[in-house]
Amino acid sequence: QVQLVESGGHLVQPGGSLRLSCAACRSIFSFEIMAWHRQAPGKERELVARILKTGSTEYADPVKGRFTISRDSAKNTVYLQMNSLKPEDTAVYYCNAYSNWKNFWGQGTQVTVSS
């Protein structure tokens, strides 16, 4: 069983910043892909950003230039730095890890962008 624990979600004003963390129970290099997804009320879950085992990163268009995904292998942790936050970024953010045809999910952390 793989455990992913997210943290860092909070209420923040528009234009503000947050950093989300996802701590894995084993080496993050054991996963082919690690990613952040989000789900807003009444909407489907969507990919926000992902980082491949090679270190390559990909971003959804709405967050390009504002969000950065990174990792710290010593801490088995993946981060999502979110800058210039907008109200439409409000959602539950989920950490996801993919390995050997299996997807693993964290419990989610709430991000609310509001004045």
Could you say which DSSP state residue 55 is in? Answer: S
Strand partners for 103 = 98
pLDDT tens per residue, range 57-89: 999 999 999 999 999 999 999 999 999 999 999
Q: Is the pLDDT of residue 1 over 90?
A: no
Number of Cβ within a 10 Å radius of residue 24 = 23
Read off the pLDDT of each residue in 91-108 and give the average, rounded to a whole number: 96
Residue corresponding to tokens 């996802």: 22
Read off the pLDDT of each residue in 39-59 and give the average, rounded to a whole number: 97
